[in-house]
């Protein structure tokens, strides 16, 4: 059973709720149809503001626990970024009234910590292109102790009920605590009940629902097609940006998720903040997460999963068959 009285669990739930509200406000106020394709200013503001808010909260609550985040404030300190920093400060000040540009930069830089015996890792916005399209993205926070993810929380503002895209809905907060299961509630109200998550019981590869991204990014689109052919998958894939896909897998609305190596970046290694929260949510819901060779994810190697290549997440029932298919397409 989920123990919401544990200080670390309460902290993670509260701050992901707040950070998700913040980035949703940025999306609502700065992302518009008039936005040019190359204008990433809304996601820049949201990314930095989200990390600043989490950095501030961690300093206030667990000052001795490092934060390993995606961003640092060096660029924001340049004179050319003065307006951007002012926008970031304005959004953060809605949650932390004493915010100043200098303080905001220091809170962001709290996320430049290094992995330790006990530390937090944050992706302030996972799925930036989904964010800019007004689609799916997530705030991802995890607590790692002795190289093992202990708490994982995903805030998905444009996902309702854990699987329905809905920009006007109450959003989804998914949380897993090691040994306490994976759970789902809304982003909006503490009073909402928590629903325990369970993976699907699909065991026939032809019936598997592949969770796929809209964006190619670091994965290999053509090899995913070969993978689906090898498994003789007959079902249409579910397309969604960000670690929100992990929530769909945990709630049983998808069965397989892959991050294959792109031929353009064959040496790419996953960042820990891109996988920590979502992987624990899937595992605590009864699923399985490994790299493409079946190795458990190794969070002891720093800011990246240096000892792993790619990602395979499944409902567990399909994992061995998926690994066999991967071996076939790499043969």
Of residues 176, 153, 54, the one with CA closest to residue 113: 54
- Kindly write down the DSSP assignment for every residue of 289-313, as one continuous string: EE-TTSPPP-TTSSSB-TT--SEEE
Is 47 considered catalytic here?
yes
Measured between alpha carbons, how far is 175 from 202 in angstroms, rounded to an integer? 23
**Nearest one of 183, 216, 188 to 282, comparing CA atoms:** 183
b/e code 149-175 from CB counts within 10 Å (16+ = b): bbbbbbbbbbbbbbbeeeeebbbbbbb
Tokens 């629903």, located at residue: 195
Catalytic residue among 44, 89, 121, 128: 128
Catalytic member of 47, 135, 241, 291 = 47
Which of helix, strand or coil describes residue 151? strand
Distance CA 174, CA 197 (A): 9
What is the rounded (10 degree) CA torsion for 104, 25, 273, 68? 10
Active site residue 38: no
| Cα torsion through 97, 99, 104, 108, rounded to 10 | -30
Q: In 19-34, which positions are buried (b, 16+ CB within 10 angstroms) versus exposed (e)?
A: bbbbbbbbbeebbeee
Regarding beta strands 67-69 and 118-126, do their DSSP bridges make them parallel or antiparallel, or are they unpaired? parallel
Q: How many CB atoms lie within 10 A of CB 264?
A: 9
| Residues recognised as catalytic | 47, 128
């Amino acid at each position: 059973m989920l123990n919401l009285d544990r200080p670390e669990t309460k902290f993670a739930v509260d701050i992901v709720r707040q950070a998700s509200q913040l980035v949703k406000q940025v999306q609502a106020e700065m992302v518009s149809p008039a936005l040019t394709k190359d204008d990433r200013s809304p996601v820049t503001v949201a990314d930095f503001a989200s990390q600043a808010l989490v950095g501030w909260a961690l300093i206030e609550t667990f000052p001795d626990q490092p934060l390993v985040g995606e961003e640092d404030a060096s660029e924001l300190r340049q004179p050319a970024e003065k307006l951007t920093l002012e926008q970031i400060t304005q959004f953060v000040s809605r949650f932390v009234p004493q915010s100043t540009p200098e303080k905001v930069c220091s809170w962001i830089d709290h996320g430049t910590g290094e992995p330790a015996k006990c530390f937090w890792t944050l992706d302030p916005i996972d799925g930036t292109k989904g964010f800019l399209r007004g689609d799916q993205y997530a705030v991802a926070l995890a607590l790692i102790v002795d190289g093992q993810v202990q708490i994982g929380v995903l805030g998905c503002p444009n996902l309702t009920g854990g699987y329905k895209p809905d920009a006007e809905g109450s959003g989804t907060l998914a949380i897993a605590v090691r040994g306490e299961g994976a759970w789902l509630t809304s982003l909006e109200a503490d009073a909402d009940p928590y629903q325990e998550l369970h993976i699907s019981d699909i065991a026939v590869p032809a019936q598997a629902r592949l969770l796929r991204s809209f964006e190619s990014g670091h994965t290999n689109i053509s090899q995913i097609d070969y993978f689906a052919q090898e498994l003789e998958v007959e079902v249409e894939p579910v397309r969604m940006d960000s670690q929100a896909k992990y929530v769909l897998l945990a709630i049983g609305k998808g069965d397989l998720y892959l991050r294959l190596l792109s031929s353009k970046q064959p040496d790419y290694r996953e960042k820990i903040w891109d996988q920590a929260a979502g992987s624990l949510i899937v595992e605590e819901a009864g699923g399985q997460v490994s790299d493409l060779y079946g190795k458990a994810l190794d969070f002891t190697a720093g800011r990246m999963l240096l000892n792993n290549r790619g990602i395979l997440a499944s409902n567990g029932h399909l994992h061995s068959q998926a690994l066999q298919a991967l071996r076939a397409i790499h043969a």
